Structure 1
Amino acid sequence: MGVQLSHLIKTLLPTLLQPTAQQATEAILSAVPKTSRALISDHLTDLIRVNAYSPWLRQTLAKDPARFITWLKGNSFGLKLQPETLRAEVCAATQSCETVEELKHALCTIHLREEVIIAWRDLNSIADLKENLQHISQLAEIMVTAGLTWLTQWLVEKHGMPIGELTAKPTQLALIAMGKLGGGELNFHSDIDLIAVYGEAGETNGAQPLANQEFFTRLIRALVDLLQTPGEDGRLYNVDLRLRPFGDGGALVASGDALEAYYTRHGREWERYALIKARPVAGDIAFGNQLLCNLSPFIYRRYLDYGAFQSLRELKHEIDRQVKRKSRQYDVKLGRGGIREIEFIAQTFQLVHGGRDNALRLQALATVLPRLEQRGDISSAEREMLVDAYRFLRRSEHRIQMLHHQQQHQLPSDETDMLRLASSMGFTSTTDYLAALKVITDSVAILFGDLLATETIPSTDSAGSKFTALWEQPLTQESVIPLLEQLGFSDTEAACQQLLALQKSRNHKAASALAQRRLQRLLPNLLAVCAKQNQADAALGGTLRLLDTILRRSAYLSLLYENPTALHRLCQLCAAGEWITDWLCQHPVLLDDLIDSRSFAQRPTRQNLAAQFNRAVVQGDDDLEQQMNRLRDQRNGALLRAAMLDINPNTKSGDLLTEIAELVLDNCLRLAWQQLVSRYGPPPPTVYPANAKTPGMLVVGYGKLGAKELSYRSDLDLVLLRPDCDADQLTVGHEPTPLHRFYNRVSQRLLQLLSTQTTSGRLYEVDIRLRPSGNAGPIVSDLQSFKHYQLHQAQTWEHQALVHSRPITGDTTLHEAFTYIRKETLSLRRNRHELATAIIDMRSRVDEEKTI
């Protein structure tokens, strides 16, 4: 065995690591019975590696060789973790515990075994990074849950169950994991970041009652003590509670209402980054999930949040300052091009776009990067580079921590430890490892730097910097007008008055310090861009009016500063007319859409436009209110693209406005139809075929919609038609209703969806007075009634209106029937004199109404 062992060690390890590995392996072989040595021989290569690469693991195995043999016999190192099996084992081990000391011993015994298994499988490349991260994270969740469950019961026996004062029902604690544990990516040796929150204030119902706040405070203190106080087999975890509201100065636990109130009133930008990975891991999981759902508007802003870039710059600067102060050794977590920069790249895109793309609301980095590639935020090559870099750096981080079982992220300063790291990563020398590390971190740092870089707009001479200094004091005509002349404004007095008005406005005075800093940073760029417009004064007046409106949402100021192209487009739009400025003031969320150059390069095809509307409606959930808000946002964004096409001399929107309205009508009809069908069931197959793919009614467009001549402010003239049916026919569902009532309700719902005013605005004003009998008629007509009315009752002006009518969306059979009725009606023989008289009469009445 000795000769074989020496030869194997020389084959596997660099010279410097051979003596220690040989001594440790021989010591274990001599310490176990001869009957067990054959078992060790089957794992000899693996044992040599762990003895060479991890002094901690070497010492742990040598401390109790019999325990090591037990693990080998159970094939512990060859099996992938089965979480439910481990959870059952932990539950059984803790149920018999009568004291906290017994509980600690039971948990630490299992925890140590699992740590050894994780390190063994990692150092021998039996498990990949994904499996190791899952094993480490699931182990932590199981340990924390077991401890919390036991300690909760222990306290309940003393003080009773916590009862909510409002609901009079039991209330529980939820532990929200942050950081790596929240993302299911915990380090081998890491703190666990937790926020403790309970459901409701109140009091326990035992013989020695406590306020719920005190009960849960005692519970979390007991849990922290259990997890981080060292025992015979080491400690479980260091617990970091500093991410809780107000940090070290705040209460250890908070009620759900208090937590929500904190983030609403006091939440800071870095806390949004932290909450991206938040995930309930123990206690009342359902309550924890609901709480995080309630906090999502704080984490993910509904608008594109380009303020996240400046927040990231500040956060990264602070991290760099701390790293430089603490150590000269490279830090794989916090150093240049390290793990944190990869995480920041993903998290910044999540914060910027997560408010409008629910698919980005993910905790684990491995799931976020592919989504960013799909969206086009990063390229395929960049995604591949980041994945490879993350894998390399996290494996390095684990190997560093496995050296001495310490929470360490810096490269070892000891030469032997550095060689252990390099060799465990598959390199023959430290030099080769460091060279590979440099290539990887340089690639990450370049991409990270590009992400944080800002485009610059050169201002005319030094006017921009002078204006920045002037803005810090009350502006005067004497100080501002010369700068405006230098920039090239013609009506400098009017422009000066507009700037003075902004500085003195109520919104500016009430704006936060952050908003005022962002405005001061943006204004020089804004002046430079406006000065280059053909209508410079109009551009400045409109944009300043908009800035005054959006000061309460200062992230928009960052968006315009971070994206000079978007600022240029905004100035173009405001120069084109006051109505566009008014519209943007009403819907500032549209500023988000100014970023994407592809949207304005050419007119979108009908197919692409339809796909965008469809994604807006079906994204993420079936909540009708959310669907309609997304549909309104999509419609407003499409109108903005049309406006940009129209003000660009090289492009035109054509009938894009009409196509937008058609797609809105199509989606609204589908939503209204689905909602009523889900309640009442569909019409019977004789009226509406079971395999029909479109709603069973027809929307007909009249006026400018029918003629494909919609303008930006047009309303929609509509007539709604349904199939013929018997008076006693019912829908086919759990709550059948007469068909005439069903179609009326679908029509009412459609009109409501189109015209309801919300925070996102309304889709369209709708006019249905052109229907048969006008306001006196039903809002939806069956085909037979519509045909009879057109052929026998309609007046000449109604036939004139029919000329500009056409089917917009709905059932194809009804489409064909309407087309036939229209043709038949317009083909009627008419007396030319009577027709001319009727038309002249109608024109006179219209002119009279206009003069009233």
Structure 2
Amino acid sequence: MAQGGRRPTTYGRLLRHGFTDPAAATRLLDSPPLASVRDDALFLNALGATADPDLALLGLLRLVEALEAEAEAAEDPQVLLGTLLTAKPLRDRLLGVLGASDALADHLARHPHDWRALATYESADLHPGIEEFEAALRQADDRDTLRVAYRRALLGIAARDVCGTNDLAHTAAQLADLATATLRRALAQARQAAPEDAAACRLAVVGMGKAGGNELNYVSDVDVIFVAEPSGTGGPQDEAEALRAATRVAAHMMRICSDTTGEGTIWPVDANLRPEGRNGPLVRTLSSHLAYYQRWAKTWEFQALLKARPMAGDAELGYAYVDAVTPLVWQAAERENFVTDVQQMRRRVVASIPAAQVERELKLGPGGLRDVEFAVQLLQLVHGRSDTTLRSPTTLDALDALAAGGYVGRQDAAALDAAYRFLRTMEHRIQLYQLRRTHLMPDSEADQRRLGRSLGYRSEPVTELHKAWRRHASAVRRLHEKLFYRPLLDAVAQLEPGEERLSARAARQRLEALGYADPASALRHLEALASGVSRKAAIQRTLLPVLLGWFADSADPDAGLLGFRKVSDALGKSPWYLRLLRDEGAAAENLARVLSAGRFAPDLLLRAPEAVALLGDENGLRPRSRDALFQETLSAVGRAEGAEAAVAAARGVRRRELFRTAAGDLIGAYGTEGVAQQEPGAALDRVGNALTDLNSATLAGALRAAVRAQWGDELPARFAVIGVGRFGGHEMGYGSDADVLFVHEPREGVSEHEAGKAAFAVATEMRRLLQLPTTDPPLVMDADLRPEGKSGALARSLSSYAAYYGRWSVVWESQALLRAEFVAGDAGLGERFMELIDPLRYPAGGLGDDSVREIRRLKARMESERLPRGADPTTHAKLGRGGLTDVEWTVQLTQLRHGHELPRLRTTRTREALAAAREAELIGGDDADVLDEAWVLASRVRNAVMLVRGRPGDTFPSESRELAAVGRYLGYDPGHVGEMLDDYRRVTRRARAVVDRLFYDTE
């Protein structure tokens, strides 16, 4: 009667606590094992707070009975129940898990002592990572113990999840970390089982999909790719054997995780994302992977690689794989029909859903999880090439980055974030119940009720659940269509969403956020370019949102947009111009980079706008050969009427070729399309050679024009132009003068006096022609390094040079001649001049002590007298500490000392001479590296200043935008100019220390 008298009160109380079968619950509470907690209000309240109180109570009874069944653990049931009454954290965690997961209740019934895994409630326990999970699995030495340890760790994750200690992101990340630890333990077991195979190979397991993205489900295939290399250094036979061994180890590891045993399974390991899918080899080498991706891979494969992450095995090899494929991922948006391919793939996924499941599908259906993921991944692939902040493999982090970057509106991003968290939490709780892989809303009302309660809906769990689901799915469908199917994305894979629909105020705000200093002027440029109904305006409206983003990625977006308007105004009536930008993938981006990188290249382009065509040609930005430049320049001069017109024609060739060189240099520095990014030294050599060849051709043109004006086809004297300094060294920068010597020789039947008079006249005329006013960058001929300097004859005969050098030459002239090289005119005479000066610049027996002291004295005097007043010696690229002069004089002293006996030192080029000195062990390898790095950096700084400011300079600009543009050219991200200056000072400080030891002999 006592029990019957208690039932009405208990019955009602249980209903209020959320029990659906109070009668059954009462029977369970009345069972002897639960007698001690039956009437505890806190205990019943905790049951009522779970997703399914009936399930939680049954699971608890099974756990207590399992503990009682173990004779050696007679105390455990009382310990457990007593703890439940006194320790709220354990009570909430254990009952929360039991009320949400029948599968974990089964685990606790089989392994009842694992309840203690939930008893710890320390701060360090709240967010365990891979190391903690590895420690938890370390003793698992076979498949069954691994499964038990895995479920034990899963208990803690589920408890933190259902109790709200972890949010969705933490839960998904911890599941991914547990998967990482599990793969590592399974791989260890597989390697222990086959030690010979393990020793024969290096094997890396690269996570893909949600595992790679640190956003794993409770039950999901763990997608992986296997990469292997031989453990030794043998040939193809070793590689083949290593792959066979790695395949056996990898297959065994997969079975350890995937097979079903008496302890169930963990999850399937799926390697079908590998090259060629299930038809391809399970394991490949890194080079084999790259060969496939570079030649055969489809767009979806690059999308999948976005989430690649080393998880187990050889970490160095795993990271090498990720480093190698990452550039391919961020080039995927350049593929033909990229956007269409991704959209079609999404449509195929939707079409593959059985009709009966479409309305229940959380993941693949319209408004489901895949819609969010596809939209985010598409925007990442489209914009992530130039914006590295978007490259997170985790969906929510990537969405945050897209919002922060302005690629998705913040309200849209917040709605997508909320919807994604809701849908993923639904998916998690559905899977947690039976630990089965499913993405479908359950059919039964009881299951839906449990799901609704797990999400916090208590008054009408099923109704509230469906209402929230419909609201979030509708938001996802709307935003997916807005972000994913934007019409202009199909034409241009870099369009900002809704850009053409922004109000004027919103547009100004967007432009300001993108870094435009004068948004009002920028809007006026946009209006001038895109207003109207003409075809030209329509194409501009397609291009401009893309270009604005590229301009915004530069140090001076306003200059880029202004330059684009000027070029468009100049070429607006040319039918090929806008077609080129629209249809040639690289042309528009290359133009944007050039226009926004400084003044030098845009000024050249605005004087010859047709040079835009170079930007769309795959080979258009490669420097032309010396022979081609000479041929074109001399042909242009030959067609011109009069000397001044001839030099103007030569200048036209030079203008275009300067633009070609500068544009290729800028685009290569950014590493964008068109020209591949080069190692700094190689890029600098490329520019120096191109400018030297171009300026040699220009001087040859001026020489031809000067001769024709007075003498017709033949000058009375043989005449040669000798380049010295940077000109002779093939080390010219954009602002370098052309240092020259003029040498002549009488032709047969011509007197020395007449020949000298003609040579002087032609040299003077060359200088006059090249100094004519022009808007082009000037080519200044400087002959001050000639014998006797400005006081000496402008042009000398070969015999006069021989007499002077034989009698009067001093050591600094020998040093200057180290970089002498024939550049234009009579090649035979030029060769004889080289033969004349070789004994001076490569003296037999080297330099005497007096000459060495004189060179050191001259260098010290130059340091004290020639550095401009107020200049910072730590950042002056030419004369400052560790700058160009320091390195060059050190190398030249070595050439003067040893050039006679070491032919490889007989070069006009500083870097080649330095490499030769290193090879001959005249300069140590480390010292040579330090000097080379400093010389390359200082030279690039001078080039950067000229490109940015449009005028030469040896120091960093003081204006912030110019300084930032120099930084971009040198490879520094925005906001890192301080780092650039620190790096420059560090590099040159080290170089100066080497110079002090080698040049001044301070050791």
| Shorter-chain TM-score tier | 0.5 to 0.7
Question: Could you tell me whether the CA contact under 8 Å between 1:280 and 1:288 is conserved in 2?
Answer: yes
Match of 1:44 in 2: 91
Q: How far apart, in 2, do the equivalents of 1:92 and 1:624 lie?
A: 50
Matched, 1:441 2:504: no
- Deviation sequence 1:252-286 (CA, Å, 0-9, x none): 11121211111111100100110000111111221
1:135-534 equivalent positions in 2, closer than 5 A: 135-157=174-196, 161-162=199-200, 171-200=201-230, 211-301=241-331, 307-325=337-355, 327-428=357-458, 429-455=461-487
Give, in whole Å, the separation in 1 of the partners of 2:733 and 2:376: 38
Match of 1:420, SS state, is helix
State the secondary structure of the residue aligned to 2:170: helix
- TM-aligned CA deviation for residue 175 of structure 1: 1.1
Maintained 8 Å contact 1:715/1:765:
no
Matches for 1:597-608 after TM superposition, within 5 Å? none
Q: 2:60 aligns with which of 6, 25, 49?
A: 25
* Residue number among 135, 142, 154 corresponding to 1:88 in the alignment: 135
1:583 aligned residue (599, 614, 638)? 614
1:726 lines up with 2:860 in the alignment: yes
| In 2, Cα distance between equivalents of 1:9 and 1:806 | 82
One-letter amino acid matched to 2:84: I
- State the distance in 2 between where 1:244 and 1:82 align: 27
**Contact kept in structure 1, 2:361 and 2:439, CA below 8 Å:** yes
The 5 A counterparts of 1:647-666 are none
CA distance in 2, matches of 1:130, 1:707: 69
Cα distance in 2 for residues equivalent to 1:728 and 1:540? 56
Does structure 2 conserve the Cα–Cα contact (< 8 Å) formed by 1:93 and 1:106? yes
Tell me how far apart the structure 2 counterparts of residues 304 and 764 of structure 1 sit (CA, whole Å): 32
- Contact residue 137 and residue 150 of structure 2 kept, 8 A: no
Stretches of structure 2 lacking an aligned partner (at least 5 in a row): 1-35, 68-76, 490-532, 536-567, 591-604, 622-665, 687-731, 737-767, 785-857, 864-878, 893-909, 912-931, 959-1003
Secondary structure, counterpart of 1:726 in structure 2: helix
For residues 797-839 of structure 1, the C-alpha deviation after alignment (integer angstroms, 9 at most, x for no partner) is xxxxxxx9977562799xxxxxxxxxxxxxxxxxxxxxxxxxx
Considering Cα pairs closer than 8 Å and 6+ residues apart, tell me whether 1 or 2 has the greater RCO.
1
Aligned-pair CA distance for 1:133:
1.9
In structure 1, what is the Cα distance between the partners aligned to 2:422 and 2:772? Answer: 62
* Structure 1 residues 179 and 628: alpha-carbon distance in aligned structure 2, compared to 1, 3 A threshold: farther
TM-score (norm 2): 0.48
The residue that corresponds to 1:484 in the other structure is none
Give the CA deviation at 1:51.
3.0
2: CA distance, partners of 1:445 / 1:302:
25
Render the CA deviation track for 1:661-705: whole Å, top value 9, x for unaligned. Answer: xxxxxxx999x9xxxxxxxxxxxxxxxxxxxxxxxxxxxxxx9xx
Contact 1:204-1:211 at 8 Å conserved across structures? no
Cα deviation for residue 301 of structure 1 reads: 1.3
Larger deviation: 128-137 or 8-17? Answer: 8-17
Distance verdict in 2 for CA 1:587–1:809, change over 3 Å: farther
Say if 2:962 is the partner of 1:810. Answer: no
What is the TM-score of this pair, normalised by structure 1? 0.56
What is the distance in 1 between the residues matched to 2:427 and 2:136? Answer: 29
Q: Gapped runs of 5+ residues in structure 1?
A: 95-102, 163-170, 458-486, 490-532, 560-573, 591-612, 633-667, 673-702, 757-761, 767-803, 814-852
Corresponding letter in the other structure for 1:60:
H
Shift of 1:726: 1.4
Q: Equivalents in 1 of 2:444, 2:124: separation in Å?
A: 29
Whether contact under 8 Å (2:140, 2:149) holds in the other structure is no
AA in 2 matched with 1:272:
F
Relative distance call for 1:13 and 1:85 in structure 2 (3 A) is closer
1:301 counterpart letter in structure 2 = Q
Q: Deviations over 1:156-187 (max 9, x none)?
A: 33x5732xxxxxxxx40111111011111111
- 1:20–1:12: structure 2 CA closer, same or farther, 3 Å change rule? closer
Offset at residue 365 of structure 1 (A): 2.2
* Paired residues of 1:17 and 1:416 also in contact (CA < 8 A): no
Pair 1:3–1:669, CA change in 2 (3 A): farther
- Could you tell me how far apart the structure 2 residues matched to 1:735 and 1:751 are? 6
Q: Is the 8 A contact 2:362 2:427 kept in 1?
A: yes
After superposition, the Cα gap between the structure-2 partners of 1:7 and 1:415, relative to the gap in structure 1 and judged at 3 Å, is farther
AA of the residue aligned to 1:437:
W
**SS at 1:176's partner residue?**
strand
Specify whether residues 318 and 669 from structure 1 end up closer, same or farther in structure 2 by C-alpha distance, changes over 3 A only: same
The separation in 2 between residues aligned to 1:734 and 1:725, in whole angstroms, is: 13
Which of the pair has more CA radius of gyration?
2
**What is the CA-CA distance between 1:223 and the residue it aligns to?**
1.1
Conserved 8 A contact 2:227-2:286: yes
Q: Per-residue displacement from partner, 1:311-366 (whole Å, max 9, x unpaired)?
A: 22111101111124462443222222222222222211221122223333322223
Deviates further, 340-349 or 32-41: 32-41
Contact preservation (8 Å) 2:330, 2:381: yes
In structure 2, distance between residues paired with 1:626 and 1:739: 18
Aligned mates of 2:175, 2:571 — CA distance in 1: 61
Question: Are the aligned partners of 1:145 and 1:281 in contact in 2 as well (CA < 8 Å)?
Answer: yes
Deviations 1:396-438 (A, max 9, x none): 1111110111011111112111111110010121111221222
Q: Is the 8 A contact 2:614 2:620 kept in 1?
A: no
Work out the CA distance in 1 between the residues paired with 2:107 and 2:266.
15
Q: Is the 8 A contact 1:177 1:192 kept in 2?
A: yes
**Cα 1:413–1:54 shift into 2, 3 Å:** same
Give the Å deviation of 1:147.
1.8
Structure 1 match to 2:825: none
Relative to 1, partners in 2 of residues 1:715 and 1:421: Cα closer, same or farther, differing over 3 Å?
Answer: farther
Is structure 2 residue 188 aligned with structure 1 residue 128? no
Q: Secondary structure at the match of 2:291?
A: helix
Residue 740 and residue 193 in structure 1: after superposition, are their counterparts in 2 closer, same or farther (change >3 A)? same
- In the TM superposition, what is the alpha-carbon distance from 1:58 to its structure 2 partner? 2.8
- 1:694 matched residue in structure 2: none
RMSD value, Cα: 5.5
CA distance in 2, matches of 1:306, 1:277: 22
Quick check: 2:136–2:153 contact (8 Å CA) kept in 1?
Answer: no
| Contact 2:43-2:84 within 8 A present in 1 as well | no
Residues 316 and 291 (structure 1 numbering): CA distance in 2 closer, same or farther, change over 3 Å? same
The structural deviation recorded for 1:72 is: 3.3
